[in-house]
Amino acid sequence: MSTLEKTISMLNDLPEKQIEIVYSYVAFLKTQSEKEKSTKSVDDILDSLVGIIPDQGKTLEEYKEENMQM
């Protein structure tokens, strides 16, 4: 018997309110799984940002100092 079949068998014995709780949890897990599939890696995000900020030839420290003064 598969895990799904065992789970369905157990669900048949639960009251409707508890089945709704189980359903909500499974729906949450599905949503999380879909988010993980669509989540970009940090490298992908950084690659998409390249070119957005013009290169002004400043060092990282110079940019930090400039932002701190604002």
Which has more confidence, 64 or 7?
7
CB 26, CB 18: distance < 8 Å: no
pLDDT value of residue 32? 85
Give the domain range for residue 51: 3-69
* pLDDT over 70 at 21, yes or no: yes
Number of domains comprising the chain: 1
Between 14 and 47, residue with greater pLDDT = 14
pLDDT cut 90: percent of the chain above it? 40
pTM of the predicted protein model: 0.47
- Which pLDDT band, with edges at 50, 70 and 90, does 35 fall under? confident
Residue 42: C-alpha distances to residues 26, 45, 46, 60 (Å): 28, 5, 6, 19
